Amino acid sequence: MAHSVQNHLRIAVADYDRVIRTYIPGYEEMLDNVVWWLGAIVRENGKVIDLGGGTGALAQAILSRLGKMQVEIWDIDPQMMQLARERLSPYGDRVVVKEHSFLEKIDPCDAVVASLALHHIPQMETKAAVYANIYSALKPRGIFLNADATLDDSEPGRAAMYRWWSHFMTTKGISEVEAYKLFEDWSGEDTYQPLTDELAALGKAGFHRPDVFWKFGPMTVYGGIKP
C-alpha cells in the first residue's frame, strides 16, 4: 500500500496543511468533532491510534487539547512521517510515529481515529476487514472515529454532492473546472463509499450502534463505540 501524498495531491508536503483547507469543506470543524468525542468518551490518559496520521494535524489537535492522552500515528509516507515527527516533537513521549499500514494488526487501545486516510482503501471488503481489526483492538467503551468523504453511488445524488463540493472550492479561489479536474485526478487513488455502506460494514465488524457524529456536505465523521 505504498503511498505518497506529494505525488497524489501534487503539492509539496510542507504546503499540505494550508492547501487541504481549500479542498476540504469544514476541515477545522471535522477535526474539532473528533477531538470532542475523544474527550467525552476516552479516559484522560488513554491511548489513541491515528491511522494514516499524515502531517500530524489531527494528532496535534488531540495532544494540545487533551493534555494527558497518548497518540500513536501510523503512516507509510516517509515525507509526511518526518513532518509529523518535527511538528509533534514538543509533546515528547506522548506521541510516537510508526511506519505501519492500515492492514496491520492493531494492539489494544482506547480509541482509533483516521482523517482523510481510509478512502485510500479501494475495496469495501478490505475496509470491512480493517473495521473488524479496529473493533477487536478497542478496549471496552473504546471509540472509533473516521473523518472522511462519503458519497452516494447512484445518481442524481452523487453528481449533486460533487457540485456542492466544487462550489465550496470556488469560494477558496479554485475554479469549477479546476475542481472537477482535481476530483478526476484523485479518483486514481481515492474511493468514497456511500455512508450507508460504511455504517453497514461497521455493524458487521461488531459495532452495535454505528453512528454519524458530524456531517457537512460530503465530509463526515462516523464510527462507533464498543460496549
Q: Which of 72, 174, 173 is nearest to 114 (CA)?
A: 72
Q: What is the pLDDT of residues 160-215, one digit of tens each?
A: 999 999 999 999 999 999 999 999 999 999 999 999 999 999 999 999 999 999 99
Cell numbers describing residue 171? 469560494
Does the domain at residues 5-151+190-225 carry the CATH identifier 3.10.450.50?
no
Label the pairing between strands 70-75 and 47-51: parallel
- Low-confidence stretches of the chain (pLDDT < 70) are 1-14
pTM: 0.93
